[in-house]
Structure 1
Amino acid sequence: MPASSMTVRAVNDRIALDLLQGQGPLTAGQLKTLTGLSRPSVADLVERLQTAGLVRVVGEAGAERRGPNARLYGIVADRAHLAALDVRTGSVSVVVTDLVGAVLAEATLPVGHGAGPGPADPVAEAAALLERTVREASAARLHSVGVGAPGLIDPATGELRGTSGLPAWHRSLVGALQQRLPATVLVENETNLAALAEQRSGAARGLDTFVLLWLGHGVGAALVLEGKLRRGASGGAGEVGFPPVPGDGLP
């Protein structure tokens, strides 16, 4: 069944936004070349994105060029904000950015080691840290929160599964954030996220198939085959199983 015109427009808009985010401001002519779309289609998508408040004119392509063809279009960076949490066994780090990845605020806090009379609540500590960092960043439009954590992700539910050697509060964190925040909260295995980062802008850029080996308290791996991250039927593709690493730590 052929895709509807609405679906085609949505796909084209997403491709253009990905290009603008990854390569910076572009002219309509550059978008035409990179997307393979016709000039009228590019003009239509630029108009749609401008109307939606996602794209605006940010300059011209050169001092000698003038007019519509020289206009550079860029993403409206403060249209929404993103947050990322790096969850460790005893700490949480938070980064808040705009839509083009500029860091607006960041913080790190040991969790689960409260000095008060009662036991510390790592989930509450992590959620409070995120909320404070969002306020410091003046991120009024928090769109999405990405959580990177060790352990396996259940492909059916998208939730962290119980894993031997990891604290139980990891599994409760995502649900707590979903209840407290008006934003989409997603969780992914930390090694898989590292592989995606390397594929996008690191050592694996331009590679369709590679393995990233993760050395920490244990050993794990992420598999990217034919351009796609492979998690496996149970979410454990590439996971060696958290075997202990001899010695007190990595050199």
Structure 2
Amino acid sequence: MAIWKDPGMPASPSTARAINDRLALRLLQQQGPLTAGQLKQLTGLSRPTVADLVERLQSAGLITVVGEAGADRRGPNARLYGILADRAHLAALDVRTDGLTVVVADLLGTVLAEASVPIGGDTGTGPAVEQAVALVERTAKEAGAERLHSIGVGAPGLIDPATGELRDSSGLPAWHRRLAGALQERLAAGVLVENETNLAALAEQRDGAAADRDTFVLLWLGHGVGAAVVLDGALRRGASGGTGEIGFLPVPGTSELPSATACDGGFHSLAGAAAIAELAVQHGLLTPLALNELPAAALVRQAAAAAGGAGHAERAFLDALADRLAIGAASVTAVLDPGCVVLGGEVGHAGGEALASRVADRLASMSPLRTEVRASALGGAAVLRGALLTAREAAQDELFPGRG
């Protein structure tokens, strides 16, 4: 990481200070407490410049002395400086059709409290919103947060790129669209809503399977299917926020075509949770009577664990599932050539290398474009992680010097 350089007009002293302060804060956040000497080495700044920025950040209440680098060292450079984690508290929500999960964390991203609540399909919109907001309030109180600075929300459905709001999508509960406004009103916090698959991709890129990639596609495999596209380090949302709605992709192997209001007949019909359960029935891993009792991720996890041994039926099931997933992956690859596809969500994580390698083999036979296929490192937890990263970025943009 280097200091900002402009080949044209030099930055003003105030701009240069803000850039250097922000750089130091990022380093302290990513690498933990550092001495002034370590900051000098990592930033390439002079010793007086580092001393000035440390003083500014301390005066602003953003960092403090948290210890010393060693008992045999004394002086200013031996002091360890760290970010004041409780300067702001954040919340992240993973909103599903049947409930939500919330975590509350500090400015460093350390989770302080976590809770979930189921919300039945017969719950009215008002009561459902109240349940959700009350859960956030209780979790914040448990975490010791007097107020929340920023809240990141991950939800299924399309996000309007012009307004940042969740669009009215068929099949999604009405309380999803009311939640962000209610949170903002009751908690007086900044609320940022993003599609769940996009947040999962952000988390996999920052902390997971795509940490070394700036271009990749995340194929979300959960209750439904979706995709997130990251090109040259930037998340691509599309003109209407619909980039990656791969569930609507017309594919062979289905009896009908998808419509504007339903993805039945699209890729969802091959790779959604219900389709995976039916595939398990076909291979004798599940009885028809137990069709709705075992989650798709659990079926895939069991099959992946047994596929390396004598599990003939499990291997056949994984092979058939890989055939299906490769159809969607090949379609995405042919258009975008991302070089890497991450099998995300609960199912992608459960399948691990056993499923990813099978999809890679089939993809290699279907496309001349070299594409690596990786299993998710975070699974379903990636949505909450991505929502928390989004909330933290929003807080830092306001609290750290040089925002905007």
TM-score (norm 1): 0.90
Do structure 1's residue 226 and structure 2's residue 241 form an aligned pair? Answer: no
| Structure 2 residue corresponding to 1:26, chosen from 28, 34, 40 | 34
Alpha-carbon deviation of 1:67? 1.2
Q: Which residue of 2 aligns with 1:10?
A: 18
Native 8 Å contact 1:28 1:69 kept in 2: yes
SS at match of 2:52: helix
- The one-letter code of the counterpart of 2:195 is N
Partner of 2:109: 101
Higher relative contact order (CA 8 A, sep 6+): 2
- Could you tell me which residue of structure 1 aligns to residue 189 of structure 2? 183
Preserved contact between residue 79 and residue 141 of structure 1 (Cα < 8 Å): no
Residue 237 of structure 1 corresponds to which residue in structure 2?
Answer: 243
Amino acid aligned to 1:139? A
Residues 137-161 of structure 1 deviation map (CA, whole Å, 9 limit, x = unaligned): 1101421111111111111111111
Match of 1:56 in 2: 64
Query: How high is the sequence identity, in percent, across the aligned residues?
Result: 73
How many residues align structurally?
A: 249
Matching of residue 122 in structure 1 with residue 131 in structure 2: no
Deviation of 1:84 after TM superposition, in Å, equals 0.8
Aligned pair in 2 of structure 1 residues 8, 162: CA closer, same or farther (>3 Å)? farther
CA distance in 2, matches of 1:91, 1:70: 49
Deviation of 1:2 after TM superposition, in Å, equals 6.1
* Residue of structure 1 aligned with 2:78, choices 49, 70, 75: 70
1:147-226 to structure 2, matched below 5 A, reads: 147-226=153-232
Distance in structure 2 (CA, Å) of the matches to 1:216 and 1:136: 30
Letter in 1 for 2:110: A
Q: Secondary structure in 1 aligned to 2:37?
A: helix
Distance 1:29 1:173 in 2: 47
Bigger fraction of residues in strand:
1
Q: Cα deviation per residue 1:189-214 (whole Å; 9 max; x = unaligned)?
A: 11111111112121211321111111
Q: Which has the larger radius of gyration?
A: 2
More helix by share: 2
Q: Does 1:88 align with 2:86?
A: no
Distance 1:180 1:17, change over 3 A: same
Deviation at 1:174, TM superposition (A): 0.5
Residue in structure 1 matched with residue 386 of structure 2 by the alignment: none
Which amino acid in 1 is paired with 2:97?
Answer: T
Helix, strand or coil: the match of 2:149? strand
Q: Counterpart of 1:78 in 2: which secondary structure?
A: helix
Distance 2:125 2:166 in 1: 23
The answer to whether the 8 A contact 2:140-2:147 is kept is no
Deviation at 1:73, TM superposition (A): 0.8
What's the offset of the Cα at 1:81? 0.7
The structural deviation recorded for 1:126 is: 0.3
Structure-2-length-normalised TM-score? 0.58
Gaps of 5+ in 1: none
Structure-to-structure mapping, 1:136-147, within 5 angstroms:
136-147=142-153
Q: Distance in 2 between matches of 1:34 and 1:148?
A: 34
**CA distance in structure 1 between the aligned counterparts of 2:234 and 2:208, rounded to whole angstroms:** 16
Aligned equivalents of 2:193, 2:58: Cα separation in 1: 31
1:37 matched residue in structure 2: 45
Partner secondary structure for residue 106 of structure 1: strand
Change (3 A) 1:89 1:5: farther
* Deviation by residue 1:209-248 (Cα, 9 ceiling, x = unmatched): 1111110122111112112222222212222146342144
Q: Deviations over 1:172-203 (max 9, x none)?
A: 11011111112111111111111111121212
Kindly provide the amino acid, as one letter, of the partner of residue 168 in structure 2.
Answer: G
**Rounded Cα–Cα distance in structure 2 between residues aligned with 1:182 and 1:217:** 32
Change (3 A) 1:230 1:35: farther
